[in-house]
Structure 1
Amino acid sequence: MDGIHDLGGRQGYGPVETAEPEEPFHAAWEARLLGIVRAMSRPTPWSIDWFRHVRELIDPTDYLTRPYYDQWLQTYAAMMVDSGVATVEELASGRSARGIPGLPVPMAPAQVAAARSATSRFDREASTPPKFAAGDAVRTLRHAPPGHTRLPQYARDSVGRVVAHRGAHVLPDTNMRGEGRAEALYTVAFAAGELWPEAAGRRDTIHLDLWESYIERA
């Protein structure tokens, strides 16, 4: 899905602010929100890819003007309502009016340290051999799928060369719907001039990790 979230390679949005303070949060409520999100019980179908998809549905003006953790708050509120975990009225009042059957037990304080160090793995056993190998010339798709994707707009319909095959990994485009389908993942190198005409003649190379369904043989 193309949207305002995909700003890579775009111009006209002003300079990147690099003088922000080193503190991870701008206000106390941001730290509290992060803690709640990390400790909250959530339905099994929730995934990082669904979170990203819902966040990408935020109105463009809100996306560009709301603080980062304010976007998180809006996204998780929408996910809770969509999943039936809470109603709009419950979110507005700050109180749950009913129990949610099958929802996991909230995290206990003693579990926080383990949760902070826990990581998720997205590599899987391959069910089919890879279609491409290092050295193959490939072209990326011209159009994006209707939902979340990891193929950026600036790299569409562009020719690159496979640098490495990285095994099979969960495809974000389908994982956002709760499907854990895995595909071959490749690192693909693109000349800067292939992605941005104004960079023609420069020796810069951009490497992108792309799933097999994003590319075809050039």
Structure 2
Amino acid sequence: MDSIADMGGTHAWGPAQVPTDEPPFAEPWEGRSFAITVLTMGRISGRNLDAFRHALGRLHPVDYLVDGYYGRWLNAAELMLTDSHILAPGAVDARARRNLGEDVTEPAFPEPDRPDYKPTAAGSLREVEQAPAFAVGGAVRTKDMHPEGPTKLPAYVRRRSGTVTAIRPAHVLPDTHAVFEGENAQHVYTVGFASTELWGPDAEPFTLHIDLFESYLEPQ
């Protein structure tokens, strides 16, 4: 699934604005949004960190861009609660309108449908029995992937050729873990891509390194 969250390598966004002396939370509501989202993940909604990232990717593009960083967190928390049937669709909007004095009937709360949550304190690194399919120095090409569900393969690096520069520890595959279709742990590789391979011959010359899952790659 290609989402608004996959903005890396795209054009026309302008330079990144980096505030100086930025506090952890610029306003009190941001801290509350952070706390609500952390509490929502896990035992309340039954969702994991990868499901949270998937929720961010499913937000409406306008909301994603306009509501800011912690606004996105709050929207994703609401979406996770809706996914788990803790909240009915539209319940938060209806409550807000009712608090403003509108005559609104709040939707009934559905029957909860929480996944079987397991604590993630052990981390996401795993051991896999099969040997790595690629070796350091090997030429690889990223696949042309457009799955219906989430993927951590950035759009701008698909169908591009690179070189494996390191083999990393095996890791839970976020693509399936986010939608509760298994951990599917696999090897992870650091792949170096020439800037000209990614952005054409006029790009400033440098090598971009990206960590990619084995299932994203094929031999060159």
Shorter-chain TM-score: which interval? 0.7 to 0.9
Cα deviations across residues 106-134 of structure 1 (Å, max 9, x unaligned)? xxxxxxxxxxxx95511111032211110
Question: How far apart are residue 26 of structure 1 and its match?
Answer: 2.4
Name which of 208, 213, 216 aligns with 2:215: 213
Q: Once the 2 structures are TM-superposed, how far is the Cα of residue 98 of structure 1 from its aligned partner?
A: 9.6
Residues 4-23 of structure 1: pairs in structure 2 closer than 5 A: 4-19=4-19, 21-23=21-23
Change (3 A) 1:120 1:198: farther
Q: Answer yes or no: is the 8 Å Cα contact 1:49–1:148 preserved in 2.
A: no
Instruction: Indicate if the aligned counterparts of 1:144 and 1:151 stay in contact, CA closer than 8 A.
Output: no
Q: Quote the offset at 1:169 in angstroms.
A: 0.6
Structure 2 SS opposite 1:162: strand
Aligned twin of 1:77: 78
Distance 2:215 2:6 in 1: 19
Whether 2:126 is the aligned partner of 1:124: answer yes
Q: Distance in 2 between matches of 1:168 and 1:28?
A: 39
TM-score, reference length from structure 2: 0.80
Retained in 2: the 8 A contact 1:192–1:199? Answer: no
Distance 1:170 1:158 in 2: 24
Q: Quote the sequence identity (%).
A: 38
CA–CA separation in structure 1 for the residues paired with 2:125 and 2:73: 26
Match of 2:185, as an amino acid?
A: A
Instruction: Find the counterpart in structure 2 of residue 3 from structure 1.
Output: 3
Change in Cα spacing, 1:87 to 1:201, as seen in structure 2 (3 Å) is: closer
Structure 1, 60-69 or 80-89: larger mean CA deviation = 80-89
Q: Which range moves more in the overlay, 32-41 or 4-13?
A: 32-41
Counterpart of 1:160, as a letter, is G
Quote the offset at 1:20 in angstroms: 5.5
Q: Deviations over 1:42-75 (max 9, x none)?
A: 244x111111112111111221111211111111
CA distance in 1, matches of 2:138, 2:78: 44
Give yes or no for contact 2:192–2:210 (8 Å, CA) kept in 1.
yes
> Which residue of structure 2 aligns with residue 162 of structure 1?
164
Tell whether the 8 Å contact from 2:81 to 2:87 is kept in structure 1 after alignment: yes
Q: Which one has more relative contact order, counting CA pairs under 8 Å at least 6 apart?
A: 1
Distance 1:128 1:21, change over 3 A: same
SS of alignment partner, residue 124 of structure 1: coil
Matched residue, 1:52: 53
Partner of 2:186: 183
The residue number in structure 1 matching 2:142 is 140
CA, structure 1 residues 54+182, in 2 after alignment: closer, same or farther (shift >3 Å)? same
Q: Give the letter aligned to residue 59 of structure 1.
A: H
Aligned partners of 2:139 and 2:164 also within 8 Å: yes
- CA distance in 1 between counterparts of 2:191 and 2:115 reads 41
List runs of 5+ in structure 2 lacking aligned partners: 97-105
Contact 1:126 1:167 in 2 (8 A): no
Where does structure 1 lack aligned partners over 5 or more consecutive residues? 105-117
Q: Secondary structure at the match of 1:50?
A: helix
- AA in 2 matched with 1:188: V
Aligned twin of 2:102: none
Matched residues in 2 for 1:5 and 1:135: separation? 31
Where do 1:91-106 residues align within 5 Å?
A: 91=92, 92-93=94-95
- State the Cα RMSD in Å: 2.8
Amino acid at match of 1:27: E
Count of aligned pairs between the two proteins: 203
